[in-house]
């Protein structure tokens, strides 16, 4: 197995209500799952290939709950990545070179029926995990914005977190509200839905808990 490790900031949006039942092993709010997730790699490597500073976006769709399968995925990789870096990121996001069930990417890969051809494009990403704000933009493919959940009475920002000590993606994620849309092979458009902001730290064997929160 080729050793790899990634530390990144993540901004994820999905069509569920705030909190996302999937995080609690419950069925998705509307019966299906559609999501756009952006990653800003801070530090990373795949074998001897360095991944620092690269970006990636995953667009995903399942007709029911994720564990029921039938999913589709479309990956967008930073056009700045060289060929070795592109293959490294696609290997990691494809769930390869990973212990079975150890990472979110390996778990998702087992539920996909179709993976569309990857495109390599300029990716704009801004993520502030603690402030619960984010932006992902890929011209012609994806546009997402995230902000704190607002108190419906006062309009003040409301802070909530999900703590998953045994999670395969993060240990702690800040909750927010997202508006997002995608075009291309997977199309969707949603407003005021679930958002999560997290510092993630994973390798072949799963979440590195000492630095993930």
Q: How many CA atoms lie within 13 A of 195 on its CB side?
A: 30
Pick from 99, 126, 145: nearest CA to 39: 126
Q: How far apart are CA 85 and CA 61, in angstroms?
A: 25
Q: What is the pLDDT of residue 24?
A: 93
Q: Please, what is the average pLDDT of the chain?
A: 96
Q: Distance of alpha carbon 118 from its chain centroid, rounded?
A: 16
Sign of dihedral through CA atoms 206, 134, 109, 20? positive
Q: What is the pLDDT of residue 210?
A: 62
Is the per-residue pLDDT at 92 higher than 60? yes
Pick from 156, 159, 197, 162: nearest CA to 178: 197
Pick from 63, 52, 128: nearest CA to 88: 52
Over the stretch 46-87, which tens digit does the pLDDT of each residue have? 999 999 999 999 999 999 999 999 999 999 999 999 999 999
Query: pLDDT category, 212, cuts 50, 70, 90?
Result: very low
What percentage of the chain has pLDDT greater than the value 90?
98
Element (H, E) at 83: helix 83-93
Q: For residues 139 and 122, is the Cβ–Cβ distance under 8 A?
A: yes
Q: What is the pLDDT of residue 100?
A: 97
Is the per-residue pLDDT at 98 higher than 70? yes
Query: pLDDT category, 15, cuts 50, 70, 90?
Result: very high
Q: Tally Cβ neighbours within 10 Å of residue 189.
A: 12
Q: What is the mean pLDDT of residues 159-172?
A: 95
Q: Distance of alpha carbon 50 from its chain centroid, rounded?
A: 20
In angstroms, the Cα distances linking 50 to 61, 119, 144 are 30, 20, 27
Query: In 47-91, at which residue ranges do the beta strands (DSSP E only) sit?
Result: 49-50, 55-62, 71-78
Q: What is the pLDDT of residue 213?
A: 38
Query: pLDDT category, 211, cuts 50, 70, 90?
Result: very low
Q: What is the pLDDT of residue 209?
A: 83
Element (H, E) at 113: strand 112-115
Over the stretch 113-152, which tens digit does the pLDDT of each residue have? 999 999 999 999 999 999 999 999 999 999 999 999 999 9
Instruction: Give SS3 for 64.
Output: coil
């Amino acid at each position: 197995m080729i050793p790899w490790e990634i530390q990144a900031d993540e901004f994820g949006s999905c069509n569920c209500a705030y909190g996302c039942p999937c995080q609690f092993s419950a069925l998705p709010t509307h019966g299906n799952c559609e999501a756009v997730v952006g990653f800003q790699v801070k530090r990373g490597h795949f074998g001897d290939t360095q991944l620092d500073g690269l970006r990636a976006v995953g667009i995903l769709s399942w007709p029911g709950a994720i564990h029921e399968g039938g999913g589709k995925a479309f990956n967008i990789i930073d056009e700045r990545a060289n060929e070795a870096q592109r293959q490294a990121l696609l290997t990691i996001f494809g769930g390869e070179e990973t212990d079975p069930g150890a990472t979110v990417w390996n778990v998702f890969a087992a539920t996909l029926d179709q993976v569309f051809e990857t495109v390599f494009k300029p990716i704009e990403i801004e993520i502030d995990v603690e402030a619960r704000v984010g932006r992902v933009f890929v011209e012609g493919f994806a546009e997402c914005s995230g902000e704190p959940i607002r108190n419906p009475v006062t309009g003040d920002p409301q802070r909530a977190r999900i703590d998953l000590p045994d999670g395969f993606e993060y240990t702690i994620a800040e909750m927010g509200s997202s508006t997002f849309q995608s075009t291309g092979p997977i199309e969707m458009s949603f407003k005021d839905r679930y958002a999560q902001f997290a510092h993630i730290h994973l390798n072949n064997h799963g979440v590195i808990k000492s630095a993930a929160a």
